[in-house]
Structure 1
Amino acid sequence: MKKRKHDDHEEHIDESWLIPYADLLTLLLALFIVLYAASSTDARKFEQMSEAFSAAFNSGAGILDNPAIIKSGEQPQQKIDDAKKTNTENKENDSESTLQELMKKEQEDLEKLKKQLDQYIKKNGLSSDLETKLNQSQLMITISDNALFASGSDALRSDSIELAAAISKMLEPYTGYEIIVSGHTDNQPIRTQSFKSNWDLSSSRAIRFMDVLLKNNKLKPERFSAIGYGEYRPVASNDTTAGRAKNRRVEVSIIRKYVDATNTQQVPATPKQ
């Protein structure tokens, strides 16, 4: 009996069933991952998982083909945090740059005003009665009471009215600044029908001088204030006639709007008597 000869080529096994089987496994894996994510209390991870599946199915790629999309999401979150940090730093840098520009412009303005005042003082021979000082907090104009008032009075002399009018004219371009007019006396007691104390005298002198400044209707009254300090902020010793003369004064302070907190020079302390 003759044996049946085998074919030269064996029949190939049909493996086409592996494709739907692999798809089924992929879907099952996706189902279990979604169920696991849904059971977790971490809403952020669930959102990231949802985005991962959306990207996978919309692109047509299998999840197993791109395992990176099912990572914990630490890298995307880090990128978000880094972006927020960078945005904040950029805003801070812009703000700091703007502040520096405003401070520079303010410094230029106050230096210009000081120069005008100094020229007026020199031109009118008032160097012994007026002084200007610019520091990190203000531009201060100091006026001796001898140039403004008679002893024990709050009535301005005629020439001091002209002085106040000249100062108010120079203040016209600077209406955005707060301006404080302060009155000061020496420590000699005063008690008259008009003034019960140095507090009353210093306050009234400050107000009277401010009244003349504000006759200029181009200035803004809401930017002005008047303060009386009496004898309690001396700049010299009250033990001498010259020292008491220095302490009797009116100060007009133009207050800075922009101050660098890291470079603020403190106003000199009041001398001890």
Structure 2
Amino acid sequence: MPKKTHEEHENHERYLVTYADLITLLLGLFVILYASAKVDTPKYIVVSKAMRNFFTGSGKVIDRGGARGGLMPMLPNPSKTGGEEAMTRMEATIAEAIERMAATNGTAAGTAGEGTDSTSHIQVEMQERGSVIHLAESMFFDPGTAYIKSEGLRALDVVAPSLKTTMRLIRIEGHTDNTPIQTTLYPSNWHLSTASAITTATYLIEHHHIPSVRV
């Protein structure tokens, strides 16, 4: 007489394995969401400000209150060597120096009966490449020469402190008028404009001790 085979009972609890995995994943998701929502506000503000300063090129990465080592200087950013904040500081510094120079010129004019205002020829503007300081050529050089006049030297003395304190690169461009020149010393206007820029850079390096690697 053949043995009776017992039918295997179906495992109706297999779904619990999948259910447990799903619950575990959901628990992990909620833990991550909770950790993300619980933000340390002071630290978040410091990091947020540091990132904003980094991408705007203000020259400071972490504020003194948020970093143990104090301020951390940022490497020069050639594409944004100025920044609105840096230009504002530079304009303020130059404006103060201009006021002092104007007062000095006014005193000298009252004493000697004449004076040359070299401060009205200095302008600062913000361009895509950074902060640009315009110095009028007429107060710097006589036509056909690359020797800086006294008015030009005083103008350089005004802007030099701002250039010295910043860690950004300094680009000096020499420009000449449209009058053709062809002399032994300056065969072309290109030679003259280059000589003018070199003379200006040399004065800033030698008299105001601006590092040559930045000029």
Could you state the TM-score of these two structures normalised by the residue count of structure 1? Answer: 0.45
The answer (yes or no) to whether the contact 1:63–1:69 under 8 Å persists in 2 is no
The answer (yes or no) to whether the contact 1:165–1:216 under 8 Å persists in 2 is no
Q: Separation in 1 of the partners of 2:146 and 2:123?
A: 21
Cα displacement (A) at 1:70: 10
Per-residue CA deviation, residues 121-150 of structure 1 (Å, 9 max, x unaligned), is 354333542222234542211112221112
Report the structure, 1 or 2, having the larger strand content: 1
Equivalent residues in 2 for 1:95-174, closer than 5 Å: 98-102=50-54, 103=56, 105=58, 106-122=83-99, 123-124=101-102, 125-174=117-166
Q: Which runs of 5+ in 1 are unaligned?
A: 1-17, 27-61, 88-93, 225-273
Letter in 2 for 1:147: M
Percent of aligned pairs sharing the same letter: 17
Matched, 1:64 2:64: no
Higher relative contact order (CA 8 A, sep 6+): 1
Letter in 1 for 2:14: L
Match of 1:265 in 2: none
SS at structure 2 position matched to 1:179: coil
The answer (yes or no) to whether the contact 2:94–2:158 under 8 Å persists in 1 is no
Letter in 2 for 1:108: E
The answer (yes or no) to whether the contact 1:167–1:213 under 8 Å persists in 2 is no
Match of 2:189 in 1: 198
Cα displacement (A) at 1:151: 1.3
Distance of aligned partners of 1:192 and 1:171 in 2 relative to their CA distance in 1, 3 Å threshold:
same
Q: Separation in 1 of the partners of 2:86 and 2:152?
A: 25
SS at structure 2 position matched to 1:126: coil
Equivalent residues in 2 for 1:124-273, closer than 5 Å: 124=102, 125-174=117-166, 176-216=167-207, 218-224=209-215
Distance of aligned partners of 1:198 and 1:99 in 2 relative to their CA distance in 1, 3 Å threshold:
farther
Q: How many residues align?
A: 152
Letter in 2 for 1:116: T
Distance of aligned partners of 1:180 and 1:157 in 2 relative to their CA distance in 1, 3 Å threshold:
same
Distance of aligned partners of 1:120 and 1:65 in 2 relative to their CA distance in 1, 3 Å threshold:
closer
| RMSD value, Cα | 3.7
Cα displacement (A) at 1:64: 2.5
The answer (yes or no) to whether the contact 1:168–1:214 under 8 Å persists in 2 is no
Q: Separation in 1 of the partners of 2:47 and 2:192?
A: 45
SS at structure 2 position matched to 1:210: helix
Q: Which runs of 5+ in 2 are unaligned?
A: 1-5, 37-45, 59-82, 103-116
SS at structure 2 position matched to 1:215: helix
Instruction: From the CA coordinates, give the structure whose radius of gyration is larger.
Output: 1
